[in-house]
Structure 1
């Protein structure tokens, strides 16, 4: 199986140990969650501030190794100079100071402030869309991640499309039977000795939020922290990671609308929103000039037959859409297409605006470098 070839027109999804081909149907999880309970393997993509969608695939191969035939040869990304940010440095520093003022006023404790990078990118060989598997291969080679994966449902499939490639290091929700697990990341540095007290305090704060979220759907007394402030090594940086686990209540575990209930209790992920979540979401809408799309949302899979699921927080994630970049006109809605990537940082009272900007740069640098073409100029 090379590149996207025949995987293209009828869709493909891939995650660690799972390959799926041939999209069959699509569902809005909030509106028709009972369709997931009917069975099958579903690939999931959800916008941070919008709906969560799932696509069922007809052919699923489990226990797979990485596809060696899916090489980087088909990937031609934007020029590194073509990327632009929804918030430039000065605007981001102002947003951090504004959040610190809200914290001082007692409105909120922590808010994740993000920016979206975007660059023009034309289509490719798969239904006129870029080769998602080739980008995934480039990320796997240069930035392996525990929850890496992707979903590509071309517009030519006749269903709502998806083009998302993720190198996420963060678990949003894992469901195995009635055991629900989440592993929020808070705290990022280039090395373990660069992690500070502010990182630990932020992690504990978000851990409390995640515990409260899980308690809304788990049996009393079963929600527990199984690992606190663990240090995980990733390419070019380290993260502080805490693991929280609980056992679903009997009514939630048996409910046909189980996934609607789980999302209502926990979505969007607390680690990329803030605490309290409602206040943080209000401030995100106020200070971020563009919607995040799939960034900070969810990407992963639900195996309704096996009663298992693994959903990642969609960070370190690229997504492609047809049409021009934000704020640009393209005749009759058509354009070269746009590749996007989000990056952000958690803001607390102890945040230094310049350091937070540097953290967004650190998180983006390696991935943007891997996705940017070194051979061809970006289209204009």
Structure 2
């Protein structure tokens, strides 16, 4: 089956035929209107330079996305494995790790997530898709087959429809926020290794630190006494690696739950997600701005849907996004990073970024292989 012209899928919902796009930095109260709204928020949004947008579609169903059609993955035309480059070389990344450790020594931060962005040229020349843009349906299918994820998502609104375009495909394993009535929850991930036996004391300490940060974030919008850590240091297995995952839950304060700008309050209290920023968050963001040469965009932001008093938003990790450059040119991007603490070893942190990227970038590349940008 041919993919619809514009579509989005996440958490068991499929939407087609885009109607409008809303700028959430200007009108976050629109999320209180009937939805669902499919949301993509850049890491740099809310008080910084990034975008926060939500799209409403004409048709929404509970069901499988078009990526689940037989043979859909065969339509993906990815970049050559050797075409990927990285925003930070290994030398520069390890120097950034050392810089964070110096900030920790000085007492300004306890932890900072340092990321790099991989990029590869990918032209808008696919005759089978709207405006020739790369086939998001096919990449979604390839990731679903080769790297299934609990918060897999895709939002594709091609250019030329009179609505702000977007192209994001994610295989995120991490819950940023879920809302059921007034119950708000988050599932921060910190700690990554090839196997559970490889998880270290540093991983566990980092998870506890970020879980506490998320708990503090939720307390800003929840009723006093309702915020609790309901799971700590759970081990989750994902393709090619394991993560430490905790869960924090609370109940929205009545004044927040009933407010038309509820989502403005919740997002500003909790964004960007603590697991991909650092602690204290404001100081960590300042360090990130100094050390990272490339904006993260949707990577490490949020992707998901909001529908009245229900919502599910993932942290935008394990995420590809495509942007048009000129009439026919375009770039496919993918982000990868690691949390840096005083106990970090620069080379080990670089290897963690390789571990997180290798499987997914291989799936998205023509010719496959491990992280193609590791040495450039």
Please indicate the TM-score interval, normalised by the length of the shorter structure: over 0.9
Match of 1:38 among 33, 36, 43: 33
Specify every segment of 5 or more residues in structure 2 that has no aligned partner in the other structure, as ranges.
45-49, 369-376
Q: How does 1:1-380 map to 2 (within 5 A)?
A: 1-2=1-2, 4=3, 7-8=4-5, 11-49=6-44, 50-64=50-64, 67-69=68-70, 71-123=72-124, 124=126, 125-304=129-308, 307-323=309-325, 333-334=326-327, 336-374=329-367
RMSD: 1.3
TM-score by length of 2: 0.93
SS in 2 for 1:260: helix
Q: SS where residue 322 of structure 1 aligns?
A: strand
In the TM superposition, residue 35 of structure 1 has moved relative to its aligned partner by 1.6
Count of matched residue positions in the alignment of Structure 1 and Structure 2: 359
Secondary structure of the 1:239 match is strand
Q: CA deviation at 1:69?
A: 4.0
Deviation at residue 211 of structure 1 after TM alignment = 0.4
Contact 1:70–1:133 (CA under 8 A) maintained in structure 2? no
Residues 174 and 309, structure 1, Cα contact 8 Å, conserved in 2: yes
CA distance in 2, matches of 1:243, 1:278: 22
2:374 aligned partner: none
When the two structures are superposed, what TM-score results if normalisation uses the length of structure 1? 0.92
Report the equivalent of 1:328: none
CA shift at 1:335, angstroms? 5.4
Q: Which residue of 1 aligns with 2:371?
A: none
1:160 partner SS = coil
> How much has 1:170 moved relative to structure 2?
0.2
Give per-residue Cα distances to partners, 1:172-221, cap 9 Å, x unaligned. Answer: 00001100000000000000010000000000000110000000000000
Q: Is the 8 A contact 1:42 1:55 kept in 2?
A: yes
1:293-349 CA deviation, whole Å, 9 max, x = no partner?
A: 110001111122xx21100000000000011xxxxxxxxx45520000000000000
* Distance of 2:234 and 2:55 partners within structure 1: 34
- The CA distance in 2 between the partners of 1:334 and 1:107, in whole Å, is 45
**Residue 155 of structure 1 aligns to a residue in which SS?**
coil
Mean CA deviation greater in 352-361 or 152-161? 152-161
